[in-house]
Structures are given as C-alpha cells and as structure tokens.
Amino acid sequence: MGFFSFLSGRGRTGARETTPEPAAAVSPAATEAPASPSLPAAWNFGALTAPPPTVTSQGAFGPADARATAALEPRVVEALSTIFDPEIPVNIYELGLIYGIEVDAASRVKVTMTLTSPACPSAQQLPSEARFKVKAVPGVADAFVDVVWDPPWTKDRMSDAAKLALGLW
C-alpha cells in the first residue's frame, strides 16, 4: 500500500472501488457558485473548467504598432513601476528587468522582461503580477509577458535612481 493511496480511493481502512464517471458537458449550473455560506457568490467556478480561449490565426500578439506603442507605453511603464521585487526595495522597471514594451494594433501589450537570475524565488510572481497590472491599464485589451534570459540581467541595467537607492554608487 503506497503513501499516496488516498489518491486512488484506497485507504488504510479498506479498499473503495470507484469507477470513473463519463465526462459530461459543463452545464450552466456548473458555472454558478456552490450554495455555501463560506464561499463568495461572485466566484466563477465554471471558469476553472472552461476550455482556454482559442488563439486567432495570426497569433496571440500581432505586429507591433508604433503609434499604439507610443500612446500606451507611458501608462504601461507607470503600471510596471508599481511592482517591487520582494527582496529588493526597487521596482522592476528601475531594476532594469523590463527589456521592451510593444503594443499591436488591437491594443494588446507584449512585455519582454527578465529576472535577476534563473533561480529567482519570484520567478512565478513577478511576470504574473506584471501581466495583471498591465492588463488593468485603461486602453489595454490584453497583456502578454515574455520572460527571456538573453541578454542576462546585470547591475549595469539598473537606473541611476535604483543604484542610488541600493547604495551601489
């Protein structure tokens, strides 16, 4: 009997035979919140089982549009400047983690960024937070974050304000 036997329905108190039920289509009732006083009624539980949106034939992000980029980039930079690395008291834009911001004709924003190291403990949090905050910028239809490792981040990418804040002058 394995350590994870509870996953197969077999416990220490005896075997419990279960047969998998056939998959059924998601009904409208499945998207409603369960009738439980401890869970908020506004939660959309159906979104957890819904299939992901389909990508258009041209891809998720179209060719960069210089005019749209010029219009939205300052607000995107402002949003990214509110994200702080939990280990360093400087925002990710001033740290030099943002390599590029592009906007396509459909107002979808692509942020190219890196992390201070591949073993960064915030490797999941920072890109996710960047996408969330950029997507919340008025005028942005959607946001995509591309984490790259080339060129690698160095302290030379930091702004003068970040170097001053960290005492690297």
Residue-range domain boundaries for the chain? 66-165
Q: At what angle do helices 66-80 and 125-135 cross, to 10 degrees?
A: 120
SS3 category, 157: helix
| Cα(138)–Cα(116) distance, integer angstroms | 29
pLDDT recorded at residue 77: 97
Q: Encode pLDDT of 51-68 as tens digits.
A: 655 544 445 788 999 999
Instruction: Give domain 66-165's CATH superfamily.
Output: Fe-S cluster assembly (FSCA) (3.30.300.130)
pTM: 0.64
Helix (H) or strand (E) holding 15: strand 14-15
Q: Which residues have a Cβ under 8 Å from the Cβ of 25 and sit 6 or more positions away? A: none
88 closest CA partner among 168, 169, 147, 152: 168
Q: Encode pLDDT of 20-35 as tens digits.
A: 555 555 555 444 545 5
